[in-house]
Structure 1
Amino acid sequence: MRIGILTLTISLPGCGSLKEKRQRMGGMHQRYGRNPSVAVCESAERDNLDTSQWTFVVTGHSLPEVESLCSEIEDRVQRSVDGRVIETAREIL
């Protein structure tokens, strides 16, 4: 079994409240938490209105499977979130 940790830092320019921030992030837990191979949480910048950081822990039987799922998550976040991914970090254990 392989484990991947994907951390995305997202810029939310013009965000004026925590409520707006939650709306712009658009249900990350619901979208990615349904997959039994993925755990997701807002890992930093919780009180910062214009930045959000999310960490995804991905498990799989092989390295290519974990890397593929990490890439899929990264692509979907970039397309679906009303913000801009400014930093990406990956670690494979």
Structure 2
Amino acid sequence: MQIVVLTLTFSLPGCRSLKEKRQRIGGIHERYGRNPAVAVCESGDRERLDASEWTFVVVGNSSQELDSLCSEIEDRIQRTVEARVTDVVRERL
């Protein structure tokens, strides 16, 4: 079994309230937390209006499986979240 910690940092230009931030970022936990191979949480910048950081712990049997799942998460977030991804870090444990 292999583990990757995937951390995404977001910029939310023009965001004026925590409510707006939750609407723009909303659904990440619900969308990805359903997959038994993925654990997800907001890991940083919780109180900042213009930024957010989310961490995904991804478990798989092979490097190829992990890379595929991490790429799928990154691609889907780029398409569905109303924020700009400013940094992506993948760390293998």
Fold-level similarity (TM above 0.5): yes
- The equivalent residue for 1:6 is 6
Matched residue pairs, number?
93
The unaligned stretches of length 5 or more in structure 2 are: none
Aligned position for 2:18: 18
TM-score (norm 2): 0.98
Tell me by how many angstroms 1:92 deviates: 1.1
Counterpart Cα distance in 1 of 2:15 and 2:23: 10
Distance across 2 between alignment mates of 1:56 and 1:91: 10
Partner of 2:32: 32
Deviations 1:12-61 (A, max 9, x none): 00000001000000211100000000000000000000000000000001
Identical counterparts, % of pairs: 68
Match of 1:55 in 2: 55
Q: CA RMSD in A?
A: 0.5
- Runs (4+) of structure 1 moved beyond 4 Å? none
Structure 1: distance between partners of 2:88 and 2:46: 17
Q: Name 2:45's counterpart in structure 1.
A: 45
Is structure 2 residue 92 aligned with structure 1 residue 92? yes
